[in-house]
Chain A
Amino acid sequence: MTTAPILEIQDLRISLPPGGDRPYALEHLDLTVNPGEIVCLVGESGSGKSLAANAVMRLLPEPHVHVSAGRILLDGEDICAKSESEMRAIRGDRVAMIFQEPMTALNPQKTVGWQIDEVLRLHTDLDRKARRARALEILGDVHIPDPASAYNAYPHQISGGQRQRVMIAMALVLNPRLIIADEPTTALDVTTQKQILHLIKEMQRQHGTGILFITHDFGVVAEIADRIAVLRLGELVESGPAAQILNHPRHPYTQALIAAVPALTPPAHKDLSAAPVVLRAQGLAKTFAARGGLLSGRRQAVTAVRDLSFELRQGETLGVVGESGSGKTTVSRIVTRLLPPDRGEVVIGGRDLIHADRRQLRAMRRDIQMIFQDPMASLNPRKRVVDLIAQGPIVHGVPRAEAHARARELLSLVELSPAAAERYPHEFSGGQRQRIGIARAIAMQPKVIVADEPVSALDVSVQAQVLRLLADLRDRLNLSLLFVTHDLRVAAQLCDRIIVMQKGEIVETGPTAEVFADPRHNYTQALLASIPGRDWQPPKLTDAA
């Protein structure tokens, strides 16, 4: 095999339309991908990493966003000089792409087989039988159980992990020289993520493909990268072999990014057994009824939560972890009575929230507040921040002026400037919006805050800040947190105790440090083993800010 690089990006510059926050999305980008190499392009949102990928495919939204300088060489040929029809022949054949969200990246109206077949139809002269045979073969190669039935299935009929396997099969079917993977595992559960990463490595070793892997997750990087390039706001700040960047980052930005990765070392166990119990859930159960009418009972009833009990003490953070479908979100909805359970009770301050009548419920609502996953979707875009925060107290009878004054105080408590009060949610970044969400929750002076994946939509560095803020507020206001997350690194960071859920049941519970050090249940062990980059301990950087 030659050592000539598959992809060489030289001094690439991508221009943005005038009037944006910066003139260039990317500047002076140099990057090389050799055969059989996985190069990770790492950066936070807005760093221009996805645009770099689209530039290689020549799929930029031209003419608004376009390559204005530099060269992209694929096997020595300049892609920017190619005509559109030449590019069409290259896409899917010599360069293939895998996307983040396999559900939306597949056409919902076509079968899996049709969509793989399309690649072959576009780039080969094979007849129908040969194409079908090849498609079945590649589906087998990516370890899809029963390829023949998957071939005829529609994307919504197979699981998320399998959909991503289909995407990979589609990318690999013609043995491309280069695969661009744009956050291919971000939307997946940890255990599935581990399998997919494993599959990508396996395929790459078999076929000698070069992979440009785009991600924001240093755990994933540690898992698969041969070389790493770090982007910040369109600038390449550092690049080099994986081991060097991961363990001895030179640039302050890389150091800050790595420092923000939550270490897998849980906090020392706080003894809270003397603290009063703030919230006690007893025998909660919820089954989503079977769907379908009189003549068709197609969908089975789904038990989301079965017989769940736990206690939350004052000042404690209880993590609820599990994969999608484990029922953890249902728990957060039941505890706040946004969803009525079939059975069980939730006792806060000696009173049962579930069976409270409307008047009692209204009063009890102030004791338990929620922070949601997507701060953009959960803040009313037509209201000013001060109104958003003050709304709850005003509803509960606090005079308007007082509530507004208190809202402004809360903004400084969550480290936002008082000027933020008069602005609208869309004027803030994701991390700032989540701070507003937190301010809104504590405005009610609750005893318990239920946080449902509050940081999973945020960049790592922002994530670290928000987590620190939450921990700080918890300690200062003596709050109790019920913290629902799928991310074990995040759970390790913040939670005193955790509950591991699988299929609606608690499989293991205990102090976080103990569960992480000595997981008893198979499922917990599998979950912990799936954490990407678990063998890599982020270096303690003494000179990092």
Chain B
Amino acid sequence: MSLLLYLLRRLLQALPVILLIIVGSFLLIKLAPGDTVDALVGDMGGADPAFVARLRQEYGLDQPVLVQLWRYLVKLAQLDLGWSYVYEQPVTQVLASRLWVTLLLMLGALSSAFVVGVALGAFAARRAYSAADNIISTLGLVFYAMPSFFLALLLVLLFSVKLNWLPVGGIRDIGAFHTGWRLWLDIATHLLMPTLALSLIYLAFYMRLMRTSVLEVMDLDFVRTARAKGAGSSRLMFHHIMRNALLPVITLLGLQISTVLGGSVVIETIFSLPGLGQLAYTSVVKRDLNTLMGIIFLCSIIVVVVNILTDLVYAWLDPRIELK
């Protein structure tokens, strides 16, 4: 019951945050010179001023900015994200067709980075300053220091060009018209490399943090107590150290889930995946205001939800933290 109240309160608190983000980004975009019509006309190679003026009127772009903002907010309150003049589709539909790709990529990359990073970090800490630790730490540093586009290109060179094991890009084999599980398998093989490229970078973060955190917790008194009770080293690690050491790593995970939507733009572009990151990029170029605002709205919701989830996980991991 108190959990439900807590969630309700947190969601209520999130409303003004989201509103602020929407208003702020709307005004920011409006501050930039040029609008959708300019981009459209530019693509057409020019048009006469009367046509441009009529187009502006049709899209409601001739109104003062505040009126436009008000209209947008009223529509948003009815959960209507508007119409994309670039894709000639409702924004909701544009987003829906892209969101799952990004979500798959992001969740796949982050969860594998988290699981492997935490495991490697704990392993490295247990054998701190040994050869194994040095190898793990060095590799982590290499991946961390390497720009994602470079890593992605290396992977393409190795797995697609040299070995010819994996497709170069795209989300599915366009000519094959797979259905059912064959389609999923096809999507999985297409996502393998982008996920790997994205996760290797994050992995390094989790690994370093987990290693430090485990080393710190290992020295705490209760670990000594557990050893005095006769617990073996793997029991110590799993029951006493890891859960305590996870707290800072969870904080980082929460922060990164929020940024990974934007961070995947590069990867999506290199592997020509039709995802949100790519969509955001083209929307900016084409001044597709409604689509851009839709993405921002979606992202702010994801950030808020992830924040709440992080706090819940925190409270679950550490009983000293009370949700209030």
Contact = CB atoms under 8 A, between A and B. Distances in A.
A binds B: yes
A104 B221 contact: yes
B240 A107 contact: yes
Contact of B319 (A91, A154, A167): A154
Contacts of A91: 227-230
Contacts of A99: 221, 224-225
Interface in A120-160: 122-123, 154, 156
B220 interface: yes
Given A104-B222, A156-B320, A93 B230 contact: yes
A298 B324 contact: yes
Interface stretch (A288-296, A318-326, A408-416): A288-296
B216 interface: no
A118 B227 CA distance: 11
B243 interface: yes
Given A57-B228, A122-B229, A295-B5, A108 B324 contact: no
A529 interface: no
B2 to A, nearest CB: 7
B221 A296 contact: no
A104 B217 CA distance: 11
B225 A119 contact: no
Contacts of A93: 230
A106 B221 CA distance: 8
Nearest to B322: A298
Interface string A75-111: 0000000000100111111001101010011111110
B250 interface: no
Interface in A294-308: 294-296, 298
B232 interface: yes
Nearest to A167: B225
Interface-central residue, B225, B239, B318, by most chain A CB under 10 Å: B225
B307 interface: no
B93 to A, nearest CB: 38
Nearest to A58: B227
A156 B222 CA distance: 13
B317 A109 contact: yes
B230 A292 contact: no
B54 interface: no
A86 to B, nearest CB: 11
Contact of B243 (A59, A89, A109, A118): A109
Contacts of B318: 108-109
Nearest to A89: B230
A170 interface: yes
A63 to B, nearest CB: 13
B222 A106 contact: yes
Contact of B9 (A85, A105, A294): A294
B158 to A, nearest CB: 42
Interface in A246-270: none
A123 B230 contact: yes
B317 A119 contact: no
Given A59-B228, A105-B224, A296 B2 contact: yes
A140 to B, nearest CB: 20
B9 A92 contact: no
Contacts of A154: 319-320
B263 to A, nearest CB: 32
Given A90-B230, A107-B244, A122-B230, A292 B225 contact: no
A371 B226 CA distance: 38
Contact of A119 (B230, B319, B320): B230
B296 interface: no
A166 to B, nearest CB: 11
Contacts of B5: 295-296
A71 B220 CA distance: 29
Contacts of B225: 97, 99, 105-107, 167, 170
Contacts of A293: 9, 324
Interface string B56-83: 0000000000000000000000000000
A119 B244 contact: no
Contacts of A294: 9
A419 B319 CA distance: 50
A92 B220 contact: no
Given A293-B324, A296-B2, A296-B5, A105 B221 contact: yes
Interface string B312-324: 0000011110101
B151 interface: no
A139 B250 CA distance: 35
B224 A156 contact: no
A108 B320 contact: yes
Nearest to B246: A109
Contacts of B324: 291-293, 296, 298
B231 interface: yes
Nearest to B228: A97
B229 A118 contact: yes
B99 to A, nearest CB: 33
Interface in A430-450: none
A118 B231 contact: yes
Contacts of A90: 230
B146 to A, nearest CB: 36
A294 B6 CA distance: 11
A20 to B, nearest CB: 19
Contacts of A96: 228-229
A97 B226 CA distance: 10
Contacts of B235: 122
A126 to B, nearest CB: 15
Nearest to A154: B319
Nearest to B229: A92
Contacts of A110: 239-240
A296 B5 CA distance: 9
Given A99-B224, A108-B319, A298-B324, A92 B230 contact: yes
A89 B231 CA distance: 9
B230 A107 contact: no
Nearest to A100: B221
Interface in B228-252: 228-232, 235, 239-240, 243-244
Contacts of A122: 229-231, 235
5 contacts: A59-B228, A107-B226, A108-B222, A294-B9, A298-B324
When A and B form their complex, which 7 residue pairs have the shortest distance between CB atoms, in order from nearest?
Answer: A92-B230, A92-B229, A91-B230, A104-B221, A97-B228, A107-B222, A154-B319
Interface of B: 2, 5-6, 9, 220-222, 224-232, 235, 239-240, 243-244, 317-320, 322, 324
Interface of A: 57, 59, 85, 88-93, 96-97, 99, 101, 104-110, 118-119, 122-123, 154, 156, 167, 170, 291-296, 298
Given A123-B230, A170-B225, 13 more contacts: A59-B227, A96-B229, A99-B221, A104-B220, A104-B222, A105-B221, A107-B226, A107-B244, A109-B244, A110-B240, A118-B226, A295-B6, A298-B322
